[in-house]
Structure 1
Amino acid sequence: MRANIRTKRDIVRRVEALVKLLESCSNNVKGEIESLTLDERQVTMNDLQSSRDLRQQVDAFIETLKNILLAAQEPRHEKWFQRLWFMQPDSDFLNDLGGKIDNARSDFGLVGEIRIRRHVEEAAKATREIYRVQREKDIQDILNGLETANASWQSALLDSKSLLHEGTRVAIRGDLVQWAVDDDFNKRVYILYGQAGMGKSSIAHAFCRELQQQSRIVVSFFFIREHSTCSDVYRVFPTIAYQLAEAIPHLRPVIADAARKHQPGHEKALDQQLKTLITKPLRTLENLAAPPGITFVFDGVDECANQSLLNTMLQLLCTAAREIPFLRILIATRPEANIMDSLNASKDFRIIHMRDLQKEAGANEDIRLFIRGELEKGALTKESKLLIERPDAVEILTKLAAGLFIWARVATSFLFQTKYLEVDNFDILVESQGANAGTEIQKLDNLYMIILQYSFPTFSKDSMQMHHVHQVLAWLVTTKFGFLQNEGISGDLLDAVGIPSSLTMHVIDRLRSVLVVEGEVTPTTPITVCHASFPQFLLDPSRCTNSALLVDPPSGNALIAKSTLDLLVRDDINIREAQRSIILMWQYSTGHWYRHVLLALYTDELGKSLRHFVDTHLSDWMRTSGKWSSDHTPIEAVDACTKVRDWCKKECPDDGLARALDNVVARRVQELAVEVGRSL
C-alpha cells in the first residue's frame, strides 16, 4: 500500500509536469502573439481559430486528458480488505495511468506543442507579410500621388543625351566621380556650364551612369524645354523625393509620410516642398552610423519654364548642400546671365565650384577623336573615300566644330547622309561654315539651315509637298501633351491625321543627321531630335530665316489643332475596328485638341475646322462617353469649351463661331443640371 501511495505521488508530479508544459506552451504562444500589432494580432487569432489542423490536434489532446480523468475517477475498492486484495492490480493501474500521462505529455511536447507553435509562427509570419505588403502598397500609392516628371537620367526621353563617344571627356568625368566621394566643403555644389552643344548633358548623363555602376546613390532631374512636366520647377522636388524613396529603403516610409501631408501642385512654395519632401527626410539619415553619400544631378536648368522661380530653386539647393554634409549637387547649365549672377551672389557661394567647359584644355582633342572615329567608321562601313580625297578633313572639321560636340556629331552624320556624296557634303560644309564663323549658336543655326536646304531641294518647288514637310516639322518640334510628350511621333500616327506616311518616312530619312534614327526607316519609326537646339532653331524666327521651314509655336499649334479637329469630324472611323495608329491619334485628339487651339494663331483653315467640329460633334465630345471618352470630367469639358469660346472672342473674326460655342456650352450645362436634379 505504501508503494501505491508513492506511485500516486509520482503521478501527481507527472501531472504537475504536464501542467508546466502546458503553461510553457501557452507563454510561448502568448509571446508570439504579443509581438504583433493589435491589427495583426486580431487577424492571427482569427486565422488560428479557423485552422482545421490545429483544431484537430488540440481536440485530440483534450480527448486524451478526458480519458485519463475518467479512468482516475472510476470508483475503486472502498473496503480495506478489497484494497488489500487488489493492491497489486491497483499498482498496475496506477503505473498504467502514470504511463498514459507521460505519453500524453511526451506526445504533446514532441508533436502538439511543436505543431501549435508552428501554426502560431506561420500565422504570425503570414499576417506580418500581409501587413507588410499592404503597408508597401499604401506607401507606393502615396508616392505615386506626387506630381513627378519623367526626368530621371534613365528616362527614354534622354536617349539622345546618352551618346557620349567612347574615350572622350575622360578627365572631367573622372574629376566628377572623385568630387562625388570627396569630403570637400568648398565643392559641395558643382556648376558645369557651357554653351549649347558642348556636351553638358552627355557628361551629366555619363556621370549618373558611372555613379550607379559604383553602387552610389544618384537622383536626377534633366530639364527638357519641349516637355511641360520636364520643364516645370514645381515638379523638381517631388521628382527628387520620389527617386530618393526608390533608392533608399530607410526613406520610403519617411518620405511617404511627408508626401501624405504634402499638397501637390503650386499650392506649396518651393521652400516648403524642399523642406517637407527632401531635407527633413534626409536628416533622418544623420542618425545612421555611416550615412550614404547622395548626389543630386540637375541638367539644363536654363530650360526651366518658370524662369522667375529658377533662382529660388538654385538658392534652395545650395542651402541644402551646405546643411546636409553627405549631399553633393551637380548643376549643368548654359551660362545665362540670370543664372550665373544668382550663383555668384549666393550666400552659399563658398561651397560652389564653377567649371567652364569652353576652357577645357582637352575639348578639341576629344572632338578630334570623335570625328576621326566617325570618318574611319564611314570608310569601313560605307566605302567612303573622304579621308583619301580630303586627307585633312579631320583637322578642318575639328577646327570648324570650335569645341561644340553637337556640331561635330551633326556634321559627321550629314556627311554620310547620302551614300557616295560625303565629299560633296564636306565641301558644302566647309564653304558655308567658313563664310559664317559667328557665335556658337550661329554656327549651329547655319549648319541646320544647310542640312534643311539640301535635304529637300526638289520639294521647295512643290508647294503641296513643302506643306506636308512643314506639317511634319510642326508635329516634330511643337510642344505636345499626353503620351506624345514621352514618345516620338511616327509616320503611321501622322498618316491618321492626313500626312502620308511615305512622306513622313522620307522626311525622317533626309533628316537623319539631326534625329535619333537607327536602322531602316519604317512607318513606326519614331521621330526624336538628337539635340534641343534643333527644335529651338525651327521655332525661333530670329534664327530660322526660311519662312517655308519656320515653325513658330502659334503656327505649329494651329497646324496640329486643325489636324486633330479634322480627325474628330470623320464619321467613317469605327474605333473598335480601327488600326492602332488611328486609335492612338483619336485618343490624343479627344484629349488635347482644345489645348492646341488655345495656343494657336488663328487661321482661316483652323477657323473652318473648328466651326465644323462645333456644329457636328462638340456636343458628343462634351458628354465624354463612348468613343468620346477621355480623362476629362463633364465639368472639365465645359470649362475647356468655355476657354475656347473666350479664345475665339479674342482671336477670331466675328463670324458666329463664338456664339455657336456659347449655345453648345449652354445646352450642355442645362443637361448637367437636369442630371444632377435626377440624382438628388
Structure 2
Amino acid sequence: MTVNHIQRHREMGLHILRHAAAGDAFHDSAVRYPQPKCHPETRSQILESLWNWSSRTDPRSTVLWLHGPAGAGKSAIAQSFCQTLEAGHRLGASFFFKRGDSSCGTATKLFPTIAYQLALSKNPSDLRQVISRTVENNPSILDRSLSLQVQTLIVDPCRQALILNLCRRTFPKHPVVIVIDGLDECDSQNIQQAILRSIGNAIRDEYLPLRFLIASRPEPHIRDIFAGPCLKKSHRPLNIEQSFTDVHTYLVAEFARIHTEHYETMAAVHRPWPAAEFIRQLVDKSSGYFIYASTIIKFIDDKYFRPTERLEIIMGTGEPDSESPFGALDQLYTQILVNVPQTIRPRLLRILTVIAAKLDLNFLDIEQLLELKPGDVQLALRGLHSILNMDGENLTVHHASFLDFLDSPTRSGMFYPGPQQRTDFACQILKAFSYKYDDPFINRTGPVAG
C-alpha cells in the first residue's frame, strides 16, 4: 500500500464532512459577499475586548455571549473579529446563520461545518487526522443528536489532539476561537436552546484550547439558557452598547465617499456635505446604533438619484418618491413583530399605542391603564427584547426610529396604532381620571366619581 493511498484513505472522513458542511455559512463565503463588517475606526473598543477575551484560558469565560438589539451591528462585529482572528491564525471555525435559508438557517449542518473547518485549521495540530478518522469510522454521527455531534466531532478530537501535543511537548500558545453568529436566526427556539445546551454540557469541567463566541439578540429563551446551570459558570456576557461617536464617524466618512463617487451630480456641492447640524440630527435619530445609519447611506448612495435630493427626503424637506428610504429597517421591525402569536396581537396593538404615545410608563402603569391582568404586558412583549428595553422599571425603545415606524401607517402596516386604537386609548385615560379610589383594581368593580 503506497503512502499516497494511505493519505487518501485517512482523509476519506474529510470528504464526507465536506459534503455535510454548509460552505455558505463561512465568514468568508462568496455567497455572503459583501460581508457586513465594521467601518474603519469604529467599534475598536469592543473588538479589542474580544481579542483580549480570546487570548485567555479562564474556564469561567470559555463562551462569550455577544448580545444586543436588532440592528446593533452584531454580525459586523463578528465578521471583523473573524478576519482579525484569521490574520493571527486563531480562527478555528465560523458559522453565520441566515433566517429561512435551507443550508444556513438550520442546525443540521452547524457542528459538521465547524468540525470541517477545525480539521482544515493549523492550530491545534493533529486535528485533521483525528476528525477525519472519527467521521470515517462512524459516518452516522452526522445524523445524530446535536449533543452527540459536538462531543464526538469537536470536543473529543480536540482533547485527543491536545494530549498528542502535550506528549510531544508542543503546547498551543493561544486557544482557537469558534464564532457562531445569528443564533436567533436558527430555525426554532427549541433548537437554539439545544445548541447552547449541547455546547455548555460538552465543555463543562473540560480544559480545551477552544473559545466559543455566540452572537444573538437578547431573546428571553436564549437568555434563560445562559442563566441556567449548563452555561452560567462558563460564559461571559458582552452587551453591544450604543456608540454615538462611532455612528458619527461612520456617517462623516460615508458622506465624504458619496460626495467623491457621485462626482457628476455633486460637482457643484461644496464640502463639507452635508452640514454638521444634519449629521448631528441623523446621529440622534440612530440612537447610537448602525442599522439606522447604514440604511440611510444605502438610500442616499443610489447611483440613479442625486444624493442631495435623497438627503432632503430623509430630512423631510423633499418630495418623497415611491421607494421607502427605510425599507430595510421597516422589514426588520415587521419581521420581529410578526413573530408575536396571532392570539396576542390585539393586546400587543393596544400596548404599542401606549408606546407610540411616548408617555414613559412602567409595566404596572400600562396594565392599570389598559385594565390588564398583572404580567400581561410582559407576556405580550416577551419576544420583543430586540427592539424594546424591558430591563428597568420603565418600558422604552432601543431605537428612536421604531417610534417613527409606529407613527407611519405605510411603514408599520398592520401594527400601526390607528385612529380607533388612539381613540380607545384616550377613553382609557379619561376613565382613569374618573376613578374614585387610589387602588385601580378596586375601581374596576367599585363606583367611579360622578
After TM superposition, the score normalised by the length of structure 2 is: 0.64
CA contact (8 A) 2:255 2:273 kept: no
Relative distance call for 1:305 and 1:272 in structure 2 (3 A) is: same
**Sequence identity (%):** 29
Relative distance call for 1:142 and 1:421 in structure 2 (3 A) is: closer
Matched to 1:545, the amino acid is: G
For residues 3-26 of structure 1, the C-alpha deviation after alignment (integer angstroms, 9 at most, x for no partner) is xxxxxxxxxxxxxxxxxxxxxxxx
Structure 1 equivalent of residue 156 of structure 2: 280
How far apart in 1 are the matches of 2:327 and 2:227? 28
Partner of residue 400 from structure 1, selected from 277, 285, 297? 285
Determine whether 1:367 maps to 2:247. Answer: yes
CA contact (8 A) 1:411 1:447 kept: no
SS of aligned partner of 1:162: coil
For residues 652-678 of structure 1, the C-alpha deviation after alignment (integer angstroms, 9 at most, x for no partner) is xxxxxxxxxxxxxxxxxxxxxxxxxxx
5+ unaligned residues in a row in structure 1: which ranges?
1-39, 41-126, 433-440, 450-536, 547-680
Runs of 4+ deviating beyond 6 Å = 446-449, 541-544
Residues 190-589 of structure 1 aligned to structure 2 (within 5 Å)? 190-248=64-122, 250-260=126-136, 261-263=138-140, 267-287=143-163, 288-289=165-166, 290-291=171-172, 293-322=175-204, 323-357=206-240, 359-360=241-242, 363-383=243-263, 384=266, 385=269, 387=272, 390-417=275-302, 421-431=306-316, 444-445=329-330, 545=413
How far apart in 2 are the matches of 1:306 and 1:283? 31
Matched to 2:83, the amino acid is: R
SS of aligned partner of 2:413: coil
How far apart in 2 are the matches of 1:293 and 1:381? 43
Q: CA deviation at 1:314?
A: 0.5
Q: CA deviation at 1:543?
A: 6.8
Residues 14-29 of structure 1 aligned to structure 2 (within 5 Å)? none
Relative distance call for 1:388 and 1:313 in structure 2 (3 A) is: closer
SS of aligned partner of 2:72: coil
Relative distance call for 1:212 and 1:251 in structure 2 (3 A) is: same
Matched to 1:318, the amino acid is: G
Structure 1 equivalent of residue 421 of structure 2: none
How far apart in 2 are the matches of 1:191 and 1:447? 22
CA contact (8 A) 2:37 2:77 kept: no
How far apart in 1 are the matches of 2:11 and 2:103? 25
5+ unaligned residues in a row in structure 2: which ranges?
318-325, 335-404, 415-450
CA contact (8 A) 1:204 1:332 kept: yes
Relative distance call for 1:207 and 1:425 in structure 2 (3 A) is: same
Relative distance call for 1:347 and 1:133 in structure 2 (3 A) is: closer
Q: CA deviation at 1:161?
A: 3.1
CA contact (8 A) 1:245 1:252 kept: yes
How far apart in 1 are the matches of 2:301 and 2:222? 38
CA contact (8 A) 2:68 2:217 kept: yes
How far apart in 1 are the matches of 2:274 and 2:55? 49
Matched to 2:246, the amino acid is: D
SS of aligned partner of 1:350: coil
How far apart in 1 are the matches of 2:24 and 2:307? 38
Larger Rg: 1
How far apart in 1 are the matches of 2:83 and 2:141? 30
Relative distance call for 1:140 and 1:338 in structure 2 (3 A) is: closer
Relative distance call for 1:150 and 1:157 in structure 2 (3 A) is: same
How far apart in 2 are the matches of 1:156 and 1:214? 22
Q: CA deviation at 1:395?
A: 1.0
SS of aligned partner of 2:33: helix
SS of aligned partner of 1:296: strand
Determine whether 1:146 maps to 2:4. Answer: no
Residues 602-641 of structure 1 aligned to structure 2 (within 5 Å)? none
CA contact (8 A) 1:237 1:274 kept: yes
Matched to 2:66, the amino acid is: L
Q: Which has the higher contact order (CA 8 A, sep 6+)?
A: 2
Q: CA deviation at 1:329?
A: 0.8
Q: CA deviation at 1:193?
A: 0.8
CA contact (8 A) 2:103 2:109 kept: yes
Matched to 1:381, the amino acid is: E
After TM superposition, the score normalised by the length of structure 1 is: 0.43
Structure 1 equivalent of residue 40 of structure 2: 166
Q: CA deviation at 1:347?
A: 3.2
Matched to 1:295, the amino acid is: V
How far apart in 2 are the matches of 1:149 and 1:278? 18
Matched to 2:285, the amino acid is: L
CA contact (8 A) 2:247 2:293 kept: yes
How far apart in 2 are the matches of 1:404 and 1:337? 21
Matched to 1:319, the amino acid is: N
Q: CA deviation at 1:232?
A: 1.1
Aligned length: 318
Higher helix content, 1 or 2: 1
CA contact (8 A) 1:192 1:333 kept: yes
For residues 70-97 of structure 1, the C-alpha deviation after alignment (integer angstroms, 9 at most, x for no partner) is xxxxxxxxxxxxxxxxxxxxxxxxxxxx
Q: CA deviation at 1:446?
A: 8.3
